[in-house]
Chains A and B, each alone.
Chain A
């Protein structure tokens, strides 16, 4: 498995502001992902966070809205920019251990935008 922590665990933000979510893993991993889970919905992949290069975004997600940093193999941040109520969701960091194909999830960040 993997020990993954996320900060903050939850936040309530005002429309138009930005929030940066941090993800820390207990050991180095190549593959790190950011997901969004809207209320009552399944998981939607936002992007793959690549160490040393720009993140790879999925259709419907853009870097200006969800900038991602990956300064090393144990840490990543996701910023939700210029927030609107539609961004209210749970944001989840996920990792895949090297040489395996199983993914593990962090505890999530519950974001509410007013």
Chain B
């Protein structure tokens, strides 16, 4: 069974610090990877996608992908209390064209 694994947290960081969220996936055929942010009581919101090995930066967010290690991460610089949410890692399998979601990591940014 194709899986995406995340530490459920909570991950607590002080305001202004870097938050590092990690994810591993089991399907080597996965080609596309996503990070979603989900506030309590809300639906998931796409914040980053990454397709190639290396880093991809968008504002305070940096996604990192290492296909050899089957590892995806999300760094949030200058963390703000408004970043407090659950972050879902997801992978799109090439063969089945279905997105598999991890269980999410809850991030708490402490003012």
Q: How far is the CA of A106 from the CA of B102 in the complex (A)?
A: 19
For residue A41, CB closer than 8 A to chain B, the reply is yes
Determine if A41 and B46 form an interchain contact, defined as CB atoms under 8 angstroms apart: no
Taking the nearest CB of chain B, how far is it from the CB of A21, in angstroms?
13
Minimum C-beta distance from A39 to chain B (A)? 11
Query: B32, A101: Cβ atoms under 8 Å?
Result: yes
In the complex, the answer to whether B43 meets A101 with C-beta atoms within 8 Å is no
Within 8 A of A (CB), among B87-101: 88, 90, 92, 97-99, 101
Q: How far is the CA of A43 from the CA of B32 in the complex (A)?
A: 18
* SS class, residues of chain B in contact with chain A: strand
Q: How large is the interface on B (under 10, 10 to 19, 20 to 34, 35 or more residues)?
A: 10 to 19
Q: B103 touching A102 by the CB < 8 A rule? A: no
Among B32, B101, B102, residue most surrounded by chain A Cβ atoms (within 10 Å)? B101
Binding site for B on A (CB under 8 A): 1, 31, 41-43, 45, 48, 90, 92, 101-108
What 18 additional pairs, Cβ within 8 angstroms, besides A42-B101, A102-B34, A103-B99?
A: A31-B97, A42-B104, A45-B98, A48-B98, A92-B44, A101-B31, A101-B32, A101-B49, A102-B46, A103-B46, A103-B90, A105-B43, A105-B44, A105-B45, A106-B43, A107-B43, A108-B42, A108-B43
